[in-house]
Amino acid sequence: MTMNMPELVPTVDVADELTLEEQRSTRRKRLTRRQLYVRRFMRNRGAVVGLVVLGVLVLFCLFGSLLTSYTYSDVDFTSLTLAPSSDHYFGTNGAGNDTFAQSVHGLQRSLTIALIVSLLTTFIAAFVGCAAAYFRGNAEKIILGIVHFLLVVPSFLILALVSKKAGGDWRVLIIGLTVLGWMYNARVVWALATSLREREYVQAARFMGVGSVRIVMRHLIPNIGSLLIVTFTLGVVATVLGETALSFIGFGVQIPDVSLGTMLADGASTMSSAPWLFYFPAGLLTLLTVSMALIGDGLRDALDPTSRSGGRA
């Protein structure tokens, strides 16, 4: 990955060095920070593959329902447990549901849950972590105490309890996964923010009379933005895995709603007689998690100024 790209000069370089080099080569141009990140990201082949796969998956779950005349809850009594055909692209399950329509809906469901939960947990973690670091003293001790306590609490069990009681409503699942999912990241953010709070611009803002919430939102959180972006992508992976696990053992999304986890559980019982019920949800899930992980890896390398894995610039 150590490709040399001598015509690129990052914006962080001082101006006079740039003019010197500009004299040497007319092809050199300054890059904005965004261009720089995009270029570094694009250089990571795995990350680009991940992005393409994710794009295809998103298109699939947005427009996949247009490709078939069935909906995920339609029951076709004339075709039970049929292998994939031109009518039912992914076959049908034992109840006569079209697996293609179910996959589209399940992927939609899994992706929606994962994106919302990851967005919320990332934001809560950022805010709580930064606030704990900024306020110091007793407030910091109390917040960290709560975080540590929530880390010890058997979250998977509580999640299963709540979700089962709610009858597998996916909105309850989102709330549960969010409430029990932000603590670890908050701890990481806090550790970073303890060094940020000593910076001059934070001091300056405070002496100018800027409110504390505003300082946290405008001065602390944006400065850990790169960490938060990576946290977000990896949070999506973690949430997909968690939701799948819950749905698989029957405590997550429940019939008549469909997620990839429930489809897997469905396929598990007919592994040898109807393997296509397993192949499609399993394939989609693996593509989803692996592509997100690849993107997260690529982003981490692209956003980290000290990383060498993206090559120069």
Binding residues (CB under 8 A) for other proteins: these are 1, 46, 148-149, 152-154, 156-158, 160-162, 164-165, 237, 240-241, 244-245, 248-251, 261, 264-265, 267-268, 271-272, 275, 278, 282, 285-286, 289-290, 292-294, 297
Q: What is the dihedral of CA 115, 121, 123, 124, to 10 degrees?
A: 160
User: Least distance from C-beta 29 to other proteins, angstroms?
Assistant: 30
At a CB cut-off of 8 Å and minimum separation 6, what does 142 contact?
A: none
Residue with smaller CB distance to other proteins, 220 or 235: 235
Residue with smaller CB distance to other proteins, 128 or 264: 264
Residues in the chain, overall count: 313
Residue with smaller CB distance to other proteins, 29 or 148: 148
Residue with smaller CB distance to other proteins, 63 or 149: 149
Residue with smaller CB distance to other proteins, 126 or 237: 237
List own/partner pairs for 176-181 with CB under 8 A and 24 or more apart: 177/113, 177/117, 177/121, 177/239, 177/242, 177/243, 178/116, 178/117, 178/120, 178/121, 178/124, 180/150, 180/153, 180/155, 181/117, 181/121, 181/155, 181/235, 181/238, 181/239, 181/242
User: Least distance from C-beta 95 to other proteins, angstroms?
Assistant: 20
User: Least distance from C-beta 61 to other proteins, angstroms?
Assistant: 17
Residue with smaller CB distance to other proteins, 138 or 272: 272
What DSSP designation does 167 have? T
Residue with smaller CB distance to other proteins, 130 or 240: 240
User: Least distance from C-beta 52 to other proteins, angstroms?
Assistant: 16
By CB neighbour count within 10 A (0-12 exposed, 13-18 middle, 19+ buried), where does 37 fall? middle
What are the angstrom distances between the C-alpha of 59 and each of 64, 288, 299? Answer: 7, 13, 22
Q: What six digits make up the tokens of 157? A: 């069990």
Q: What six digits make up the tokens of 174? A: 């989102």
Between CA 157 and CA 244 the distance in angstroms is: 15
Phi, psi of 17 (to 5 degrees): -60, -40
User: Least distance from C-beta 153 to other proteins, angstroms?
Assistant: 5
User: Least distance from C-beta 298 to other proteins, angstroms?
Assistant: 11
Residue with smaller CB distance to other proteins, 10 or 84: 84
Judge contact between 216 and 131, C-beta under 8 A: yes
User: Least distance from C-beta 76 to other proteins, angstroms?
Assistant: 25
Owner of token pair 């962080």: 12
User: Least distance from C-beta 248 to other proteins, angstroms?
Assistant: 5
Judge contact between 69 and 88, C-beta under 8 A: no
End-to-end alpha carbon distance in the chain: 12
